[in-house]
Amino acid sequence: MPMIAGARRKIRSASIPLLALALLLGAGGVGWARVRDVAESEARELVVGALDPSARHLPKLAVDPYVDAKAPAPDFYEFAVTWDNANGSVIVGFFAVNRATGDVWKLVVCRKVERPRLRQLQGALRRKISLSHEELVRLTDKAPCEP
């Protein structure tokens, strides 16, 4: 009998990792689900990554919260990017970051920003928040503005 009890323990301990894997994959094997939204501080980093490389080094570059009173976008963080020169603050642009996907949009022209540095930051962040490819595809076309 001691041999049978030991075999049962081995079977139970071997099945625990399989059970954990099944729970992670979900019932339909769809993949993982996003564990959280993008944080505001992470969204700011994405906005800086979306800027032209020369703009990233402007003196006293600031990424400040901005809310468009005419068309607020509740699923997005909105930012005004400015820099300080001798004549005062100068606006670099207005941006929105999707809280679920990390997509960055230029608000004035209503265009999604695509830059190599931004794609690297987005990829790392999407892995960090466990955003599945399926969820990214489903949410990626959501715009904070009207083109």
Q: Are residues 50 and 118 in the same domain?
A: yes
Q: Rounded distance, CA 83 to CA 62, Å?
A: 6
145 inside domain: no
Task: Supply the pLDDT for residue 29.
Answer: 38
Count of beta carbons in the 10 Å neighbourhood of residue 42: 18
The answer to whether 126 and 102 have CB atoms below 8 angstroms apart is yes
Instruction: Using pLDDT thresholds of 50, 70 and 90, give the confidence band for residue 105.
Output: very high
Q: Are residues 91 and 128 in the same domain?
A: yes
103 inside domain: yes
Total structural domains in the chain?
A: 2
Q: Is the pLDDT of residue 21 over 50?
A: no
Q: Are residues 83 and 27 in the same domain?
A: no
**94-130 as b/e: b if 16+ CB within 10 A:** bbbbbbbbbbbbebeeeebbeeeebeebbeebbeebe
Helix (H, G, I), strand (E, B) or coil at 38: coil
102 inside domain: yes
Q: Are residues 25 and 96 in the same domain?
A: no
Give the domain range for residue 94: 33-139
pLDDT higher at 56 or 89: 56
Provide Rg for the chain, Cα atoms.
22
Q: Are residues 39 and 23 in the same domain?
A: no
CATH of the domain at 91: 3.10.450.170
Q: Rounded distance, CA 67 to CA 97, Å?
A: 12
Q: Is the pLDDT of residue 42 over 70?
A: yes
57 inside domain: yes
70 inside domain: yes
Task: Supply the pLDDT for residue 50.
Answer: 97
State the residue for tokens 């490819």.
133
147 inside domain: no
Q: Are residues 24 and 40 in the same domain?
A: no
What mean pLDDT do residues 108-131 have? Answer: 95
144 inside domain: no
pLDDT in tens, 125-135: 999 999 999 99
Cβ within 8 Å of residue 127, ≥6 positions away: none
Q: Report the percent of the chain where pLDDT is more than 90.
A: 59
